[in-house]
Structure 1
Amino acid sequence: MNIAEYWGFSGRGVTIWCPFPSGKHPETDKVQVESTKWATRYGLCQGGEDSNALNLGGSMGLCLPFARFESLLAVACYSQWGFLWDSYLDDLAADPVALGLHVAEAVRVAREPCAAPVPDDKWLQSLRDCFRLMEGCFGPTDMYRQRAEGFAWYTGQMWKGMLQNRSQPPTVAEFLRMRLNKSGMVMAIPYTAAASGHSLTDEEYCDIAVQAFAEATVLSIVIANEVISLPKEIIVGNAKLNLVQIVARERGIGVAEAAGAVWELYERMVCFVRRRQKALLADPRLNVARLAVELPFWISGGLEFMIRSARYVGESVIGRDAMPRVTMVSEEPVFWSQRDHTAPPYPDIAWWWRTEQTAATAFR
C-alpha cells in the first residue's frame, strides 16, 4: 500500500502546509559528517551511507540555521545520541524494570559532574560526552535549562514504556501529555535561544506567553511526526501508541479518517504558532522577539527531515513502491481555517489559546 493512503491522502502526492521559511546552516553537511563520526566512535551506529541517509545530526542544521558552529555540532551529537537511544529504548520496553533502571542511570549521568564515574555502558558514556560538548558552548543557566528539559525527556521515555506495557490504551489527552515529554523537543527552546547567542532571562523563559508559543511550536512538529511515521510503525508492528491509531480507536473511525483528524490538529496548532509569532515579533524584549523568529525553523526543518530521512521513508523501511511525492507549500492549510481561533477540545494544550486573550506576563 502506498503510504499516502495510510496518511489519508489520495493518489501518490502529499501536500504539507508549512507557512514558515526553510533554513539551512552553511555548515550543515560538515556537522552531519562530524556528528556521525562521533556516534560511530562510541559504537552507537556504523557510519557510512546508511547514516548519511538518516541525516540524524545534519537535521539540526535545518532547525538551527543561525547557531554558532560549535553549538550546532554539540547539539547534533546529542541529536544523534537521542535518535539512536530512542530505538534502543524501544527494545528495552518489553522489560519495564530494565527500562526504568537504564533511564534512571541516564538521569544520574546527566546531572553528575564530569568527575563522577560512569558505568561501562556505551549509551551512558556517550551521554556524558554529550554534556561535555555542550558545557563547552553553553553557559551555566542554559545548561541548567537544558538538563531540566532533558530530564522531562528521559521521564517521557519511561512514561511511554509504561503505557506500552499497560493493558488499557491511552486516551488522546493522556497521549498528548506524554508525547511532549517523550519527544524531547522541549529542549529545542533553550537550544535555539542559546545556540545563536540570544539566551532568555529567567523571567522571559518562564513567561506564560513565551511558554505557550514555544510548546505549541515544538509539539506541532511532533504531531506531524505521528502521521508521517505511521506507515513505518504499522509495517514494523509498533503502532499501538501512534496518535492516529488512538484517535481512530477513541472516535470509532478508520485509520485514514483519523490521519486527517490528526493532521487537522497539526494545522490548527501551526495557525496558533503563526499568530503568536506575529505578536512576539513586536515584543520589546530582544531575546523573545529573536526566539519568535528562530524557533519555527524547527517546524520547517523537522518536516524536511521527516520527508527525506531514511528513518521514515527509506526503502528499507517501507519499500520503493510506497514512497509518495511530498511537497511542502505555504499557501493555505488543507484541513483547518486560519480564521478559526477555536482551541482544540484538549485542556492539556488548550491553555495555549487562552494566552491570546491576555497581554499580562505571568508565571506557570
Structure 2
Amino acid sequence: MTSGELSLSQATGLPLDDLQVFCPIPLKIHPMGAPALDAWGTEWVQDIGLFPANAAVLNENYGLLIGAGAPYAEEDRIKAFMCYNYALIPWDDYVEDLSHVPWRMIVHVAEMQRAVSEPHAATISDNPWAKALRAAVVELERVMPGGAMARFRQTNSTWYMGELWKYGLQEHPHPSLGQYLRMRWGKIGCLVLAAFVADCHADGAMSDADFHEPLVRAFTQSVFLPAAFLNDFVSAAKENNDGQQHLNIVSILSREEALSTEEALLKAMALYERLMCLMLRLQRQLLSDPRPAVARYAAELPQWLPATVHWTATSTRYLNLAHESPTDFTTITPPRVTLLDTPLLWDPNDLTPPPYPDIAWWWEVLEP
C-alpha cells in the first residue's frame, strides 16, 4: 500500500520537478527491446531464488537501463549482463543497509569479491547474494572471452571498493568535494558498464592498453561522472529517505562553498554541462582514432547518458520510498524531463578546466 504521494521537489526541497537536461545523445534501445530484456532478467533472478515473484525490485525496469546503455551489444552477451545487473543493482541497497554493523559489511563485500573471483567454488548457504552473483558470473563466462572476463573482474573490484569508500565517507562529518569526486567514480559501478561496452561485440575488443590510456580514461570518466550527477539529482529523495543526504554533489557543494541548496543545485548542473561539453570534445577526438575498437567505443559509450536520464526519472527504484513495512511506501511523481541539444548554464566553447584537481586533468588530454 502507499502512504501518500509527493513530487520530487516536495521530497527533496529542491526544484527538481521540471528537469531540463543537456543531453544531445539520442536514446536508442537494443533490438531485443527493453521489456524482453527485463523479462529475461526477472525470470532468471527468480529461477535462482534471489527474489520471489512479488518482489518490488522486479518492477524497477533494469531492461531499460541496460537496453539503452548497450544497444549494440551481442544478444547473448547482453542477456548474461542482465543477469549480473539483476543480481547486483539491488545488492547495492542491501550492502548499504549493512553499514550499520561495519564488520558485517566488510566481510560481506569480501565474500562477494570472492564470488566473482571463484564462481565455481562451493556456494555459501547463508548468502543468497553471493550465490546469485556466482551464477551471474558463470553466465558471463559462457559468452565472454577470457580477456573480457579479466577486465570484468577488475572493474567489478573497483565498484566494491567504492562501496567501502562511500561507507567511510558516510562516517566522515564533513567529506570534501575532492573526496566525493574520487569516491563517486568507484561507487557508481560505472567502470563495469564501460568494460561491457568495450567487450560487448564478438569482434574487435579493445586491448587493455587502449582501455587504460589517459585519453580513453578521461573520456570514460567524462561520460560517467555526469551520469552520477544525474543520479544524484533524481535519487535525492531516496538518499534522503536512507539518511544519506549529506553525501551527494548538491549537499557537498552547498557545504564546501557556502551556497544555499538551490545555488548549489545550479552550480552542480553547470558542472554537469561543463563535463558534457568536455565529453563531446573528447568523443570527437576518439571517433577519428585509427584503432577501430577505440573509435567504436567512443561512438557507443555515451549511450549510458540518455539511458541514465530515462531510467532514473521513471524507475520505481527512485520513485517509491520504502518505510518500515516493505509494503508501505510513499510514491514520488516522476519529474518532467526535457532533453536539450545545447547547454543552458555553460558556454560550450569555454574549455577552462574546473578548479578541482581530481578531474581537471581530463582537460589536459584535449587536442589544441
TM-score by length of 2: 0.90
Give yes or no for contact 2:22–2:273 (8 Å, CA) kept in 1. Answer: yes
Distance in 2, Cα, partners of 1:271 & 1:184:
23
Which amino acid in 2 is paired with 1:103?
V
Aligned residue for 1:319?
A: 331
Q: In the alignment, residue 173 of structure 1 is paired with which amino acid?
A: G
Q: Which residues of structure 2 form unaligned runs of 5+?
A: 1-5, 323-328
One-letter amino acid of the counterpart of residue 176, structure 1: L
Query: Are residues 1:307 and 2:310 paired?
Result: no
1:176 is matched with which residue? 181
* 2:143 aligned counterpart, secondary structure: coil
Return closer, same or farther for 1:285/1:270 CA change in 2, 3 Å cut-off.
same
Q: Does 1:143 align with 2:149?
A: yes
What is the SS of the residue equivalent to 1:134? helix
Q: Are 1:337 and 2:347 counterparts?
A: yes
Is this contact kept in 2: 1:227–1:262, CA < 8 A? no
User: Which residue matches 2:130?
Assistant: 124
Q: State whether structure 2 residue 274 is matched by structure 1 residue 262.
A: no
**How far 1:173 moved relative to its partner?**
0.5
Aligned-partner residue type, residue 292 of structure 2: L
Match of 1:59 in 2: 65
Summarize the Cα distance change of 1:328–1:190 in structure 2 as closer, same or farther, 3 Å threshold. Answer: same
Aligned-residue offset at 1:232: 2.5
Task: Please give the per-residue CA displacement for 1:201-235, whole angstroms capped at 9, x wherever unaligned.
Answer: 23311221111111211222012111111122224
Residue 221 of structure 2 is aligned with which of 215, 218, 234? 215
Counterpart of 1:136 in 2: which secondary structure?
helix
Check if 1:225 corresponds to 2:231: yes
CA distance in 2, matches of 1:277, 1:347: 21
Instruction: Give the Cα separation in 1 of the matches to 2:201 and 2:266.
Output: 36
In the other structure, the counterpart of 1:16 is 21
Question: Residue 256 and residue 3 in structure 1: after superposition, are their counterparts in 2 closer, same or farther (change >3 A)?
Answer: farther
The change in CA–CA distance for 1:123 and 1:254 in structure 2 (over 3 A counts) is same
Q: Conserved in 1, the CA contact under 8 Å of 2:116 and 2:153?
A: yes
Q: Does the 8 Å CA contact 2:30/2:70 hold for their aligned counterparts?
A: yes
Give aligned pairs, total.
Answer: 353
Matches within 5 A, 1:34-183: 34-47=40-53, 50-51=56-57, 53-112=59-118, 114=120, 116-120=121-125, 121-166=127-172, 168-183=173-188
| Rounded Cα–Cα distance in structure 1 between residues aligned with 2:344 and 2:38 | 33
Q: Deviations over 1:166-193 (max 9, x none)?
A: 3x32101001111111111011222002
Give the aligned CA root-mean-square deviation in angstroms: 2.1
> How far does the alpha carbon of each residue in 1:324-351 deviate from its partner, in whole angstroms, 9 at most, with x for none?
3222232x11221111111121111111
Q: 1:200 aligns with which of 177, 201, 206?
A: 206
Letter aligned with residue 194 of structure 1: D
Match of 1:191 among 183, 187, 196: 196
Residue 359 (structure 2) aligned to one of 331, 349, 364: 349
Contact 2:161–2:187, Cα closer than 8 Å, also in 1: yes
SS of structure 1 residue aligned to 2:26:
coil
User: Can you list the C-alpha shifts for 1:50-76, whole angstroms capped at 9, x where unaligned?
Assistant: 445411244200101111111111111
3-state SS of paired residue (2:338):
strand
Question: Which 5+ residue runs of structure 1 have no aligned equivalent?
Answer: 359-364
- Is the 8 Å Cα contact of residues 197 and 297 (structure 2) preserved in structure 1? yes
Amino acid at match of 1:313: L
Cα deviation for residue 314 of structure 1 reads 4.3
Q: Partner of 1:177: helix, strand, or coil?
A: helix
Higher deviation after alignment, 307-316 or 66-75: 307-316
Q: Cα distance 1:52–1:171, how it changes in 2: closer, same or farther (>3 A)?
A: same
2:302 aligned with 1:296, yes or no? yes
| Of 51-60 and 148-157, the range deviating more from structure 2 | 51-60
Length-normalised TM-score, structure 1: 0.91
